[in-house]
Amino acid sequence: MLEFTAWKKPVKARVAVPGDKSLTHRGILFSALAEGEMILEHWLDAADTRASVRLVQALGVEVRELSPERLVLERPRRLQEAVTPIDAANSGTTMRLGAGLAAAVHGLTVLYGDASLSRRPMARVVEPLRAMGVQVLAREGGFAPLAIQGGRHQGGQFTLAVASAQVKSSLLLAGLTAEDPVRVIEPALSRDHTERLIAAMGGNITRDGLAVTVYPGSLHAMAFRVPGDPSSGAFWAAIAALDADRAVTVESMLFNPTRTGFYRVLAQMGASVHWDAVSELPEPWGHVEVRGRVCRPVVVEGADIPQMIDEVPLVALLATQCEGTTVIRGAEELRVKESDRIQVTGQILRSLGAQVEDRPDGWVIEGPTRLHGAEVDARGDHRMAMLAAVAATVAESPVRLRGEDAVRISYPDFFAQYHALQPEG
Ligand code: S3P
């Protein structure tokens, strides 16, 4: 258990965040379908991305270098059948994208996960993969473990019920090794890293509104530096936006607009957000400065939700400090993340004294309220642990957190950086 006390003095800081989790997973997984040496600099070395490394290694990809700065991967001429089941641990990205990749393997791939991952919906990838002719076994109801018999499969057109980049990416990966194209139509645009990376690696992929079509073909490996993760940067941005005497610059962060919805909402809520773009390649990135303090309630809904899905709980926290009613709706996907994030966020914020009403698809938050300390539980969810630590910076009494080790999933150094930034006194 960790204990956090309020940050009472002004903060002005620059923070470097680890490499983006989504891009790191994709770099690792796509190496299995690419000719040549894939080199990822500034990759995220965390429990989630290690699961993807395990998966490609089990398929015969050679990991040449695995240092904190560089990861070098090279696939064999032909992917091998994994001899043992592969542990995707807590990682939805490993399991869902891995299922699409396994469609390319001549043989059986068995993917299993921890208790949280085994409760998350997999029918959304299992059913379309089956429609392509891939044999997939899942636990009743469409849950992990998954057993995927790969080899030859067809393409097809798939209209997704939810805007999910993991599902879209799984089907596009399977499309690269199908006999004909795969077309995926989303209800709203989700993060588009898979499309960008396939194109950068020489794949044939086209977009037409919300529809993406990938044509079968091989990829060329490439080298790139992974920009900082905007979902990790969001915790520092939120700390800045909770107090008028705080300013934080998140350095070298991914600016892909399908990932920066949270920063746009911060500006709507009254924080000052300044973008300093540096480069567009292979994805846009730069430095972002956030200075406090949020003061206006907002309504967050619709197509904005997928562009900030992992950051939506932070909006609920910030809303507790704004005068008026904030409404967040259309975010029911949060119920099937690493935890039920609607329930866990509501519970954490209420135990700190906030007025938050849970709805099936979001929350209604009345502000402002002064937060106080309490004992809270991250319930095994990395983002819930970090949210509690952010809230503690403005709570009147100490916040005690159970389950803090969940940060190993996406941000192993989070608490070290937090304590280094916390002003003394
Ligand atoms: C991710 C997509 C999102 C996100 C997850 C990573 C990805 O999930 O919540 O942390 O890398 O594609 P969904 O696509 O299921 O919404």
Q: What is the pLDDT of residues 138-174, one digit of tens each?
A: 999 999 999 999 999 999 999 999 999 999 999 999 9
Is pLDDT above 70 for 245?
yes
Strands (E), 27-167: 34-35, 37-41, 62-66, 70-74, 86-87, 107-112, 135-139, 143-150, 156-159
Query: How many whole angstroms from its chain centre is CA 161?
Result: 19
pLDDT in tens, 168-196: 999 999 999 999 999 999 999 999 999 99
Pocket-testing residue among 24, 93, 189, 231, ligand 1, by greatest number of atoms within 8 A of Cβ: 93
Q: How far does residue 164's CA lie from ligand 1's centre (Å)?
A: 6
| In contact, 378 and 388? CB cutoff 8 Å | yes
Predicted pLDDT of residue 424: 83
pLDDT tens digit string along 24-49?
Answer: 999 999 999 999 999 999 999 999 99
Identify whether 413 is a catalytic site residue: no
Instruction: Residue 340: name the closest of 404, 296, 384, 371 by CA.
Output: 384
Region 277-306 average pLDDT: 95
Cα 122 from Cα 197, distance rounded (Å): 24
Q: Which of helix, strand or coil describes residue 31?
A: helix
Q: Which of 95, 91, 75 is nearest to 30 (CA)?
A: 75
Q: Which residue's CA is the nearest one to ligand 1's atom 10?
A: 310
Q: How confident is the model at residue 419 (pLDDT cuts 50, 70, 90)?
A: very high
Q: How far is the CA of 93 from the centre of ligand 1 (A)?
A: 7
Whose CA is closest to atom 13 on ligand 1? Answer: 164
Say whether pLDDT at 425 is over 80. no
Query: CA of 135: how far to CAs of 33, 88, 102, 108, 364, in Å?
Result: 20, 20, 11, 9, 43
CA angle 128, 185, 56 (to 5 degrees): 50
Work out the pLDDT band at 292, boundaries 50, 70, 90: confident
pTM above 0.85, yes or no: yes
Confidence check: pLDDT of 131 > 80 = yes
Answer yes or no: is the C-beta of 166 below 6 A from any ligand 1 atom.
Answer: yes
Share of the chain above pLDDT 70, in %: 100
- pLDDT tens-digit series, residues 91-125: 999 999 999 999 999 999 999 999 999 999 999 99
196: Cβ below 6 Å to ligand 1? Answer: no
Cβ(164) to ligand 1 under 6 A?
A: yes
- Among 20, 21, 22, 44, say which to mutate for ligand 1: greatest number of ligand atoms within 8 Å of CB: 22
What number is the average pLDDT over the span 308-335?
98
Q: Is the pLDDT of residue 134 over 80?
A: yes
Distance separating alpha carbons of residues 404 and 384, to the nearest angstrom: 9
Decide which of 279 and 419 is more confident.
419
Pocket test for ligand 1, best of 309, 333, 336, 384 (most atoms within 8 A of CB): 309
| Cα 167 to averaged position of ligand 1 atoms, centre (Å) | 9
Neighbours of 107 (CB within 10 A): 15
CA of 17 to the centre of ligand 1 (A): 19
Which domains are assigned to the chain? 2-19+227-421 (3.65.10.10), 21-225 (3.65.10.10)
Å from CA of 190 to ligand 1 middle: 8
